[in-house]
A and B are shown apart, each in its own frame.
Chain A
Amino acid sequence: MSSNNVAAGVCPMGHGAAAPADHHGYEPFTMENPFPSYTNLRNEQPVMFDERVGLYVVTRYDDVKAVFEDWETFSSENAQAPVRKRGPQATKIMNDGGFTTYSGLSARRPPEHTRIRAIAQKAFTPRRFKALEPSIRANVIDSIEVMSARESGTGDIVKDLAYAIPTITILTLIGADTSQVDTYKRWSDSRAAMTWGDLSDEEQIPHAHNLVEYWAECLRLVAHAHEHGGDNLTADLVKAQSEGAEITDHEIASLLYSLLFAGHETTTTLISNCVRVLLSHREAWEQVVHNPKAISAAIDEVLRYSGSIVGWRRKALKDTEVAGVKIPEGAELLLLMGAANRDENRFQDPEAFDIARPNAREHLSFGFGIHYCLGNMLAKLQAKIALEELTSRIPSLELIDGEGIEFRKNLSFRVPEYVNVSWKEAQA
């Protein structure tokens, strides 16, 4: 790459955008421990063009936040585009299967985004979340009881707790079949792999079939709500439409396609990460065991330290600059929130996990600005309930081989495959 640097007339020490051969240690799809490479990028080349994925990688806090905020220059239209081009087999399967959606909200732009988000937001409110709290808590308690009754005295927080809780919640909110958790998880895994994964054309085929099924179910849910009504978000949206709200059936189905993925995928990861990170910092776990009021702040620090989504894309609509680096019109950017969240210019001693950190909430794990995570409150509520019940019922919980946990290969989603735990004795 050094010859490219020279050809492009940029400083080989890293002030230009061209990446050095080692990319500062950054590997776009490797999620085990990306943080040392994030530090290198922030320090050595805060805006790096990574030719392996065709993205300008942005890592400093102020730059990431500024790009999120300037939605007029940096469009979200590429947020749901496949990182690896969809292959011919998958394209045919999806075309033949009537797959016609792209994005519910995250990759839409104003004024369309503003119009649809305003309608969606009304059905996604704190009062509705609070009404769900008792059933979420009951589900959490059930899951913990099943796990802690196991004679082996061991469990996997991902499988035993984090997998089903948020999935049941979002299926309930939307009016989908809550017995179909496994099916929605299979579709969601396919969505994450097809959009942000590093798949060959062959590898895309089963996922393409899953996305066809998934989209067909979203369309069916809208049709069902038209016919039968219901007390759920889908029925509310259909009703709003009939009362004059400007939203089409395709837009409602696309919104479901978004929420039935985003509404649990990242919360499963958040709950898993809360347990994983707190247990790997034992003193922090003990603190929340003894002082449950510290749980909310601990969740914010987990979101900063180990967010569910560590990178998100934008596209420049005109020639512009980020941190003095020229970004041409049409170029695509990868904002690494996982790196921004550990920027020493924003967070003191950023590599330390500190549940008393006063500004943990300034993390960018939910994005910033017009696309800020619609479900942020619901996600945090569920993580809080999970931790409240877990710390009070199994305070002796211990992590098994936390260092060895594997993370799924992905550009954006940093997902632990399992969080194995053991305990001495559960409280009745």
Chain B
Amino acid sequence: MFKNEEMEINLGPQHPSTHGVLRVKLRLDGETITHCRPMIGYLHRGVEKICENQTFFQGQVWTDRMDYCSAVANNLGWAEANEKLFGITVPRRAQYIRTMLNEFNRLASHLIWLATHALDIGAMTVFLYAFREREDILDMNEAFCGSRLTTTAFRIGGLREDLPPGFEKLVKKFLAKFPDCIAEYENLLNENRIWKKRTIGVAKLSAEDAIALGVTGPVLRAAGVPYDIRKAFPYAAYAEMNFDVPTRTEADTYARYLVRMDEMRQSARIIQQCMDGMPEGPVMAKLPKILKAEVNEVYHATEAPKGEIGYYMVGEKGSGNPYRFHVRAPGFINLQALPKMAEGSLIADIVAAIGTLDIVLGEIDR
């Protein structure tokens, strides 16, 4: 029910700061948000249903197109869920390459988050610098699998091809300059008074609320909960890697920024370890010609840049298609925290709240 002075407005679906086609229904009292509801579904393609009508092998191309900023991370979760379903063991070299590419993808995703989030709040320079480094990572994607964004990087049982010649040189070049680049972003933002005014204390989400809403990823870790699936339930080659899970306790937008910056440093560390300890050997396991599942269900969760991405698959006896395919998308679950973050704050802060959740609508609507 409306009170006397309240007004209802729509933010989006074509608003540039909503990162896609998100529509947020806002009820305002002056400039204060009293009611906030995200409306989704503008980009719904029915990915889950399409995958049920296609073979297990073909399903990967749809995972690329869910969260297009972190396609490799989606591919990894999909591939590992399938391997769990069919009981395939992946060669060790393939595990290492997967881990390395996944961390590169985390860097790319965090860089595009930093760029667009800073642009929303009013820092244009970081946008250009972050895209400069992301370009190198996309070039590496292209060198490895032939495509920059929709990678289709992995296969059930390993990889299609080994690393291309000269890939190590690209990685070394990138790792040599990347710490300086992070220092550059931090010099531009950390002490910037506009950035601090727009982020400190904005869009708070306490640890209790975050856990109750099922929020994962950097948003949860910025509230002080050190939950990272790479550490909690190690997959790929993460059990052999040495890295920290950065956490903060302030639980505001600035803390989430700092957590993501620290995560980028840790990612660079993991890539370095992958390069140093890269084992030799085959990259593809021996597979039957046609994959057929016995009746069996599997849920496999991995840590995508935005949070926990889980694939739930039910195999049907004698069929090459999944009987049920479901994706637990991190963006979809994280978006449910938006009303909690935005209600009671000013309308200008909802842009920061949407940006800090790091949502991609391709994944939310699926």
Same complex: no
A→B interface (CB under 8 Å) = none
